[in-house]
Structure 1
Amino acid sequence: MKVYDDKHIKNVVFVGAHNSGKTTLAETMLFEAGLINRRGTVENKNTVSDHHEIEHERGTSVFATPLHTEWRNYKINIIDTPGLDDYVGEIISSIRVADTIAVVVNAQNGVEVGTEIIWNYIDTYHKPTLFVVNQIDHMNASWEDSIKSIKSLVGNNMVLVQYPLKIDGAQCIIDVLKMKCYKFGKDGGKPEKLEIPEDQKELADHLHNELVEKAAENDEELMELYFDKGTLNENEMRQGIRAGMLNHDLFPVFCVSALMDMGSGRLMGFIDNVAPAAADLRPEQTVEGDILVRESNAPTALFVFKTLYQPSLGQITFFKVKSGEVNLNDKLVNSRNGETEVLNQLFIMDGKKREPVSKLEVGDIGATLKLKHTETNDTLHEEGKKITIKPIKYPQSRTRKAVNAVNQKDEEKLNDALRKIHSQDPTVEMEFSNELKQLIIGCQGELHLATIDWTLKNIYGVEAEFKEPKIAYRETIQRSSTANYRHKKQSGGAGQFGEVHMKIEPWYEGIPEPEGFNIRGKEEVDLPWGGKLVFYNCIVGGVIDARYLPSIKKGILEVMEEGPLTGSYIRDVRVMVYDGKMHSVDSNDISFKIAGAHAFKEAFLNAKPKLLEPIEELTVKVPEEMVGNVMTDLQSRRSVIQGIDSEDHFQILRCSVPQAELAGYSTNLRSLTQGKGTFVSAFSSFQAVPRNVQETLVSSN
């Protein structure tokens, strides 16, 4: 295969809502370029892009799939992405390595919720973007509504390059950059090039002039030319459009029927000679603070943007060459862990098809197999030239579930499978909670969870069970209490004896020292789960030897690890050990540890114990017209609204909500807002649970 330099490589990612036609458009472009001889369809499960078993089963894209075409001396790398935001990790990683974003819009629906969500990520990365209105030939298509919705999304920087037209029943596309009319036969394919009809010339001229003005605005030299000549030629317009796209200030709009192969060739031509190439993008700064040199003779650096596990192949690692060039059998160092990887295989991937290559230049996208120490977001660099590409920031999980293997023998297998799933999709989080004694996974929603479940069953052979995670409550006290306990045990020979008297009190920051005690020593223990134990030695007259006090404290800490109300951690208590007894022969560490534990437990239960629950700071972004229903739902979840702000047509609600009340919130918010609402949450504090809730929790424990 020909090796292309970064001036002749175009990396384009197709994004858009579910059913906008991204996969069909990608298939048609491969066909137009001669990469495939026959176009597959999603319905027939034979497209190059959607080749995974789960995609065939569900009839929709689940993974981002790299493809490539060669068109008029350019290489176009295409990444076809899912349209559902449950798979947002696939979308974000693809946007991260793209040079141009093609937002595909269904002409029947215009800009949909999924597109709006994706746009936020495009806007964050400031990538050159164009819009493709698909299915223009559908009987329910509305070009006008689609354009209004795009304009509502991006503002006046949207500019039409094309618009659709029917002439004598035939589908046509008027191109106001080339000022031509493309007329398609009923089966699509190569169009007939015509002059623009007389009744369309006024509109076409108006749109052409708008395009000229927009192109001129992005380049001072072009602006001067425009003032001098009153217009720009086609090459000058291309230059201005490219500059506007690079500034994220100009968003060209095209129209196609991907299914009928109408307009896709012209779109590919625009990507070839107008859309920014890999070499055109702005310089990139590394984690080390250096400017990445985007040249073929610079030190090699690869950025891993995607990992995929296939049973027959193992780990497939997808990367973009960010600097230098990569050759077969190159040895590169992972900047995260210092491990050396050997690239024994080098491929261009088209779905599941692998085309071996010996070399890839800067700006290109490729893949390799069976790297041992490399994951998504890693940088591989030339030895002695440390380079770390800034990692992709993935959104936090919106749904959390406890998971376990149905068959206990599969627990290790489950853990290994989930580690691979996380490596493949970093938006799947996993951790084992020692406190809850549960394996917790985080994901983006119910559909995402169903995909994880399918993968566990069908790829890794693990039957898993998912349920709501337990809540990490805390226990503490509301008043002081005293207790004593004597531990005495005789079993022949030396026995066990220890007696402990103590007083416990609630602890808080700034509390004065206890009165009425002869304090001999004080120890503050910062508890691993938050809060404190403050332990006082108030023994007078040596009734308990000082060497036994650490054992008493150890006994107290053991009780604090599993409180008597619900088995939750205890926090924020101070203990004064002020009396007791010991035996010259039978007393030992274990005796005082047991006595201390029992005395503390008894005192705790008599000190008006209370449960504390974790409170989340929740920020919810919803359209103005839907805020009432969302607030009603939040109030039913014991939330406290702390503030409301406005942002464009959205309301931002800031509130505190008990973590226990957030179960299923992601699904509920989507339902209430038709998918337009989003939220983020973060732990805030522990607060006392209402009495009725505490009674229910204690009785069910």
Structure 2
Amino acid sequence: MKVYKTDEVRNIALIGNAGSGKTTLAEAMLFEGGIIKRKGDVGSKNTVSDYNPIEQDYGNSVFSTLMHTEYNGKKINIMDTPGMDDLCGGVVSSLSVTALGLLTVNASNGIEAGTEAAARHADNAHTPLVVVFNQLDHENSNYDSTLDQCKTTFGNKTTIVQYPVDAGTGFSAIIDVLKMKMYTYKDDSGKPEISDIPESEMEKAEELHNELVEKAAENEEALMELYFDKGTLTEDEMRKGIKLGMLDLTLLPVFCTCAKKSIGVGRLMEFITNIAPTPKEKKMGKIVAGKEVTMDASQPPSLFVFKTAVEPHVGEITYFKVMSGVVKEGLDLINSKTGNKERLSQVFVPDGKSREKVDELHAGDLGCTVKLKETRFNQTLAAKEIGTAFAPIVFPTPRHTVAAKAVNDSDDEKVGEILSKIKYEDPTYVIEYSKELKQQLIHAQGEYHLNVLKWYFDHVHKVDVEYLKPKIPYRETITKPAQADYRHKKQSGGAGQFGEVHMIIEPYEEGAAPKTMFKFGDKEQKISVRAVEEHKLDWGGKLVFVNSIVGGSIDARFLPAILKGIMEKIEEGPLTGSYARDIIVYIYDGKMHPVDSNEISFKLAGRNAFSMAFKNAGPKILEPILNLEVWVPSDRMGDAMSDLQGRRAMIMGMGSEKGMEKITAKVPQKEMYKYTTSLSSITGGRGVFSISFDGYEKVPSDVQEELLKAYEAEQEEE
């Protein structure tokens, strides 16, 4: 295979709603470039991408797929990505290593929820876009309506480069207002007949051409001066202006295709090779360690791993972008995270599941290798002398959580092993075992994302797994002081056990000093503060342990045992078994035996005294509260608000942002289960939200009563 220099490479990502024709467009581009001799079809399950069994089962892309084609002496690397936003990991990673996104739009459906989501990901990655109106041959296709929706969604940067002459079942001709030519397609070969624009279309074409010239000229002062001098721009000058506008994300060219019949595909590829940014024209990822490098073949070699996949009979495949220098077979590089050496035993250019071995890849190119020892996604390999490390791709925060459990208890360990590996293939899954909740948790993008994982358990690993509602990490605390004492006494032959502890507990407040006097009923209790230990708890909040022993009623050597007993009970709160927090404990009196007192006796005495005092101290359950930001279409605002009020949400603010209505709220975590599904249903898939942890607040009394009853029933079952 020919070796391509950096400026001969174009990296593009196909993004858009499911069903917009991304995979079919990729197939047409490979066919147009001569990489394949016959186009596959999604329905026939024989396309270059969507080769994975789950994709063929589901009938749409689940993973991003790297392919390449050649056109005009340039190599075009193509990343075909999933259209479901639940599977956005492949979109985000692909946009991070490409310099152009082709935003495909089904001309029958217009701008869909997945179109908007894909555009947001591109905006976050600062990746320029070209909008491709596809499936213009469909009987329900509507170019004008789709264009209006595009302008409403993306604003004035929407810029027509092409429009169809005859959208619908007879679609065969495109007017190109950059070239000022008509492209007519008489068969499915993709080879157009190029002719002058007919008189009937000339007025419209000239008006759109002038608009395109103006949009191109706006992007550079020198071009604007030329435009003012001449009243127009040459094609080369327009190309320059269009590229500048795309790089500034202020210009969004619109193209027309029917990928299935190869209509408009060659012209789109010509535009990509002539105008799309080269790898070095898009800002390189931030360097977080080591020496600075530029995307140049003369630099020492470095590469960034943007995807890891596992395939049967092959093992782990590592996909990378060459960030600097030249990558060759047998090259030794250092993993910047581990410091260990990795050898690239082979270098490939992949096309779906097939891989072509190559001698070398230059800076800016995309490729893959196999059999690396420990290098995975988001890691950098670089020459030893530079030690460069690139900033990792930041993936969206998970929006939906479930607990996973093997149906057969004997498979629990296997489930844990499978989940520990899955995060390397799809980093948008976040896997954790919660010691507190005693559950294996999967944090995912939504229910569809979880269904994909379930498919793998069922069809690949053959393990029966069920998803359960996750428990909530409640906290317990107290609202008033309380006193208790407990005597632990045991005599069963031989050495006995004896320990007596008197304690007072009260709520902890930041900055408050320990008290020296308490009153319970008519009785006052004076406290002498001798020593204060402040313990920051791993789960949040504090425990303050105050030694107020006078007269040696308890030997100082037993105090750590009392603290240990209290800490054990704090880890399993008296109300619901949840962690307790924000409590001051005063140990002010007690008794010991010269022979029978030991550490275990005082540990048990301290534990039980604490439990008794806690239940009399106005105990309250605290629940985790989340910060929620929701963006919804204006016509769905009322429904979204009603739904949130039903979830005990406290609305903090409202406003407009990026053409959507924004709601800011605080919501109990308990009420957010399956919110992603609910919001999608309310907004037709267009609503999006983000969550972050805010803090803990007391639950309402009716909720506390419900939780106490549920815990009681659970304890009885056990």
Verify same fold: TM over 0.5. yes
Offset, 1:490: 1.6
Closer/same/farther in 2, CA of residues 525 and 150 from structure 1, 3 Å limit? same
Aligned residue type for 2:87: Y
Aligned match of 1:676: 686
Please give the alpha-carbon distance, in whole angstroms, between the structure 2 residues aligned to 1:175 and 1:608. 76
Cα-to-partner distance string for 1:119-139 (whole Å, 9 max, x where unaligned):
112122222221111011111
Q: Which moved more, 1:411-420 or 1:383-392?
A: 411-420
Measured in 2, the distance between the counterparts of 1:183 and 1:258 equals 15
Matches within 5 A, 1:264-343: 264-282=265-283, 285-288=286-289, 291-343=292-344
CA distance in 2: counterparts of 1:618 and 1:225, whole angstroms: 50
Deviations 1:665-695 (A, max 9, x none): 1110111111121111112121111122111
1:60 equivalent in structure 2: 60
Distance in 2 (CA, whole Å) between partners of 1:508 and 1:222 is 65
1:564 aligns with 2:574: yes
The equivalent of 2:710 in structure 1 is: 700
Specify the alignment match of 1:644 in structure 2. 654
Report deviation, 1:262: 0.8
Q: Give the one of 513, 529, 532 matched to 1:522.
A: 532
TM-score when normalising by structure 1? 0.97
More displaced stretch, 571-580 vs 135-144: 571-580
Q: Does 1:545 align with 2:546?
A: no
Q: Against the structure 1 CA distance between its residues 432 and 266, is the aligned structure 2 distance closer, same or farther, given a 3 Å change threshold?
A: same
Partner SS for 1:259: helix
Q: Deviations over 1:128-157 (max 9, x none)?
A: 221111011111111111111222232222
SS in 1 for 2:141: coil
Aligned to 1:466: 467
Q: Does residue 1:583 correspond to 2:593, yes or no? A: yes
State how far apart, in whole Å, the 2-side matches of 1:219 and 1:691 are.
64
Q: Which residue does the alignment assign to 1:424?
A: 425
Structure 2 CA distance, aligned partners of 1:252 and 1:336? Answer: 40
Give the CA deviation at 1:634: 0.9
Q: Give the partner amino acid of 1:84.
A: M
Aligned to 2:523: none
Q: Partners in 1 of 2:557 and 2:365 — Cα distance?
A: 69
Partner of 1:478: 479
Whether the 8 Å contact between 1:13 and 1:98 is mirrored in structure 2 is yes
Q: Which one-letter code corresponds to 1:611 in the other structure?
A: I
- Following the alignment from structure 1 to structure 2, what is the Cα–Cα distance between the partners of residues 617 and 355? 48
Looking at structure 1, the residues matched to 390 and 444 of structure 2 have their Cα atoms a distance apart, in angstroms, of 25
Partners of 2:109 and 2:61 in 1: how far apart? Answer: 19
Match of 1:109 in 2: 109
Task: Tell me how far 1:199 sits from its aligned partner.
Answer: 0.8
Q: Secondary structure at the match of 1:253?
A: strand
Query: 2:436: which partner in 1?
Result: 435
**Residue 609 of structure 2 corresponds to residue 608 of structure 1:** no
Matched with 2:149 is: 149
Report matched runs for 1:129-278 at 5 Å: 129-166=129-166, 171-187=172-188, 189-278=190-279
Q: Counterpart in 2 of 1:506?
A: 507
Indicate the residue corresponding to 2:714 in structure 1: none
Indicate the residue corresponding to 1:353 in structure 2.
354
Q: How far apart in 1 are the matches of 2:154 and 2:362? A: 34
Secondary structure at the counterpart of residue 288 of structure 2: coil
Deviates more, 1:290-299 or 1:551-560: 290-299
Residue of structure 2 equivalent to 1:396: 397
Shift in alpha-carbon separation, 1:370–1:412, aligned structure 2, 3 A = farther
- Over residues 270-316 of structure 1, what are the superposed CA-to-partner deviations in whole Å (9 max), with x where a residue is unaligned? 11122222233345541249653111010111111111111321111
Query: Is the 8 Å Cα contact of residues 304 and 323 (structure 2) preserved in structure 1?
Result: yes
| 1: CA distance, partners of 2:436 / 2:374 | 30
Q: Distance in 2 between matches of 1:264 and 1:460?
A: 40
Query: Which residue does the alignment assign to 1:77?
Result: 77
Counterpart for residue 99 of structure 1? 99
Q: Residue deviations 1:555-575, cap 9 Å, x none? A: 111111111211111112222
1:210 Cα deviation (Å)? 1.9
RMSD after superposition: 1.7
TM superposition shift of 1:412: 2.9
Counterpart CA distance in 2 for 1:626 and 1:169 is 37
Unaligned runs of 5+ in 2: 518-525, 712-718
User: 1:459-500 deviations in whole A, cap 9, x for unaligned?
Assistant: 233322211111111112222222221111122221111111
CA drift at 1:92: 0.7
The DSSP-based 3-state class of the residue aligned with 1:309 is strand
1:621 equivalent to 2:631? Answer yes
- What one-letter code is carried by the residue in structure 2 that aligns with 1:396? T
Q: Is residue 13–residue 102 contact of structure 2 (8 Å, CA) maintained in 1? A: yes
Checking the alignment, whether the CA contact within 8 Å between 1:285 and 1:292 is kept in structure 2 is no
> Matched residues in 2 for 1:494 and 1:397: separation?
56
Deviation at 1:172, TM superposition (A): 0.9
Cα deviation for residue 188 of structure 1 reads 5.3
C-alpha displacement of 1:404: 2.0
After TM superposition, the score normalised by the length of structure 2 is 0.95
Q: In structure 2, what residue type is equivalent to 1:480?
A: P
User: In 1, Cα distance between the equivalents of 2:213 and 2:531?
Assistant: 83
CA distance in 1 between counterparts of 2:474 and 2:103 reads: 45
Q: What is the Cα deviation at residue 510 of structure 1? A: 3.4
Distance 2:200 2:540 in 1: 75
Q: Deviations over 1:181-219 (max 9, x none)?
A: 122225453222222111111111222222222222223
Structure 1 residue ranges, 4+ long, deviating more than 6 angstroms after superposition: none
- The CA distance in 1 between the partners of 2:478 and 2:285, in whole Å, is 55
Report the alpha carbon displacement of residue 381 of structure 1 after superposing the two structures with TM.
0.7
Give the gaps of 5 or more residues in structure 1.
Answer: none
> % of aligned pairs identical?
51
8 Å CA contact retained: 2:322, 2:364: yes
Deviates more, 1:536-545 or 1:54-63: 536-545
Of stretches 234-243 and 344-353 in structure 1, the one that deviates more from structure 2 is 234-243
Amino acid at match of 1:583: H
Deviation at 1:512, TM superposition (A): 4.2
- 1:298–1:324: 8 Å Cα contact kept in structure 2? yes
Q: 1:95 to 1:109 in 2, by over 3 A?
A: same
